[in-house]
Amino acid sequence: MNRLTIAWRNITRNHRRSLLTGGIVAFGFASFALAGGFMAQSFDGLRDNAIRSGLGHVQFADARAFDQSEETTLQFGIGQTGKAMQVLRADTAVEVVMPRVEFYGLVSAGGRSLPFAGIGVDPEAEARGSNIPRSVHQGQWLDAKDRGVVIGGGLAKALNARLGSSVTLLATTSDGTLNAIDATVRGIADISIKELSERYLALPLPLAQELLSAPDTVSRISVILKEPAREPETAARLVEQLKQSGVTLGVKIWRELAVFYQQVRMLYLAIFGFMGAVLLVVVFLSTANATLMSVTERTREIGTLRALGARPRRITSSFILEGALLGLASSVAGTVLSLLITFAINISNIEMPPPPGSVKGFIISVQIIPSAYLAAATAMMITLALASFFPARRAARAPIVESLAHV
């Protein structure tokens, strides 16, 4: 016989009430765990999207490019790109190296001219390291040997351009003069962010460098790593290797560049924290009545225990232990419930409406996050222990003769 055994017997002596209280806690636990799992899934999706939309795990550029805006095209461009690319590709931790030229210009087709946000890329590297090629839903992705471009669906619509349409690209070169080239629409991309879809234009790196009259120059080099968990160490090592080769570049980890990801993450955490707090208050209030009833029903028993020599603190702690134990048992039930709901959601392929700023919905998915389960169990145990504490303390301090006379 130990206190845990006694606590468990006291929990089970009123099956119906304990089941009701446990049910409330189990649903509270499941809400907590599922929200955590959904949030983690959303974070993962956002992170992957940020990395695979061109940021890479680490990004190299002229140090000034991270803090300042360019006044002229490729003002902070990286020269000697070939040498830098060679060093980066040689490192065993690197999976893909994606050089990029970013610039703005005008695109004309059929008498209409519209501004575009241009990006010159290595088509083969992008196909391996980014999600952008997979967004092409009409036509094909870029080919380095071809003078074809890929434009956003919104831009294609605005230009009234189709696959095979001829377009003229006009941009300011790095030395400030205007240059123009002709190209063909090779593909149309389904870009989920509406504003970007109306401006997006990708072209092979050599074609972009020709347009900007900047051979062997890029704006940034994005790198996909084989082991993303070791980003900071790898980034530092790569910077050192580049320096030893005579190329001095600044470096940023994707987290430092993904402003949108950080904002959404903070927003989610704030919402989750608030909802969690509300949930705990609801569980506390729902279970407090049950624990109060339990303590009140056992008033005479409390008086007896005190007559036998139990100190008030021992009686209070016994009720706290019962609360915590019920919280733990309910959390076990909540774990089973959460796993079942997670499984059901993940196989149901429920499509959610597009998030703000996006034109594409997504399939809802929930991850199993052990830390969320642990946090939920701890929160539920503490909540029930607290719900038991207040009535138990009051009952344990009541005059013994009054407790013994309680009917």
| Residue 378 engages another protein in binding (rule: CB under 8 A) | no
Comparing CB distances to another protein, the nearer of 184 and 304 is 304
Which of 223, 305, 368, 372 contacts another protein by CB under 8 A? 305
Which of 140, 299, 304, 367 contacts another protein by CB under 8 A? 304
Count residues near another protein (CB under 8 A): 25
Q: Which residues contact 51 (CB under 8 A, 6 or more apart)?
A: 57, 224, 228, 254, 258
The rounded distance, in Å, linking the Cα atoms of 272 and 79 is 46
> Could you tell me which stretch among 24-32, 94-102, 131-139, 303-311 binds another protein (CB under 8 A)?
303-311
**What are the residue ranges of helices labelled H in 202-258?**
205-211, 231-244, 254-257
- Look up residue 361 and give its two tokens: 């919905």
Q: Which residues contact 287 (CB under 8 A, 6 or more apart)?
A: 21, 24, 25, 383, 384, 387
Closest CA to 330 of 274, 290, 390: 290
| Site map 75..104 versus another protein, x via CB under 8 A | ------------------------------
Strand (E) or helix (H) holding 142: none
Which of 107, 221, 321, 326 contacts another protein by CB under 8 A? 321
> Could you tell me which stretch among 67-75, 92-100, 102-110, 399-407 binds another protein (CB under 8 A)?
399-407
> Could you tell me which stretch among 91-99, 222-230, 269-277, 298-306 binds another protein (CB under 8 A)?
298-306
| Residue 354 engages another protein in binding (rule: CB under 8 A) | no
8 A C-beta contact, residue 66 and residue 48 = no
| Residue 9 engages another protein in binding (rule: CB under 8 A) | yes
> Could you tell me which stretch among 6-14, 26-34, 87-95, 129-137 binds another protein (CB under 8 A)?
6-14
Closest CA to 125 of 143, 137, 111, 113: 143
| Residue 253 engages another protein in binding (rule: CB under 8 A) | no
| Residue 6 engages another protein in binding (rule: CB under 8 A) | yes
- Rounded alpha-carbon distances, angstroms, from residue 197 to 140, 153, 206: 17, 6, 23
Q: Which residues form the interface with another protein (CB under 8 A)?
A: 1-4, 6, 9-10, 13, 300-301, 304-312, 314, 321, 399-401, 404
